[in-house]
Structure 1
């Protein structure tokens, strides 16, 4: 199928087609026309979540498709021969990269039911035509891809009006869950969250 796929894997990394060179940007920030480099899912402590030999899924189940540009975006789950999920990701048809809007737009992509076994609820896909902070890193046109373990409704409840909003926002993840070199944003990057960046690896 003529589509771009990017993945998060549980026990294996899906290999991108040779025609699609990995971006040098953060794995969740793919520039238009380039597929993001695959990354391992954080389902276990880093020491136990190191990528192993590639295991091709026996079957791929797609989620509902949504219009994007002149094409479509969708999620997918890779299953092994026993029907167990071993990877998940998103796909973009080639036409999705044409006719993208000139303003930031984002939407939620539903995952196939099999993704529940991996602990994921849905995927957020955002198009940032002018990028965002920090300067020199993510300030170029790109997609933001977020794999959520909570529902879209739960995200909607994360609002500045919450008396504990600032305290919750200030929470830092355990050091063993932060990749080397990553730093937190100096400001809220989205209406509901802070994200990290790798300053030494510009988009």
Structure 2
């Protein structure tokens, strides 16, 4: 079957069932540029347009039976690509609206809590840097890279017991520092978050 002979869905189904990939590829190429321009007219992004066109042809190849009742293949292709383009724009619009909604919900209270949280993490990191060198390495691997004692021991060529002792020393030192600071104790959510994440 020649490319010129492919007009209906049933024609294309017959072609795909024969496994005639060369003719299907030629058919794909004969429509590709036109469909690409059609999609780009809507999405204004050539890379997105390429994906839309490729997706339409891929779905046809993977599920040709869906074309059974298609009388005009050309019309079907154009409609499919236009619909894919509109769906993309709707998704982008929903994402944009979601972001705008989040931005509108950034209350002063939330921003203050966020700033306080970051301030406390900076303070914690500053205190961690004061720990003895090996103790500091072990604690960072545990809390910032989420490594288990066994993994830390292997990486630093230490025994698991030594790793455990370093973690214990770090926690004792940091807890003493933060529990002794009355100003930090009064910081509510941020303080509790810090204690739960790093000092438990």
Asked whether the two chains share a fold, i.e. TM above 0.5, the reply is: no
Identify the structure with the greater helix proportion.
2
**Which TM-score applies when normalising by structure 1?**
0.18
**Which TM-score applies when normalising by structure 2?**
0.18
Larger RCO, structure (CA 8 Å, separation 6 or more): 1
Larger Rg: 2
Identify the structure with the greater strand proportion.
1
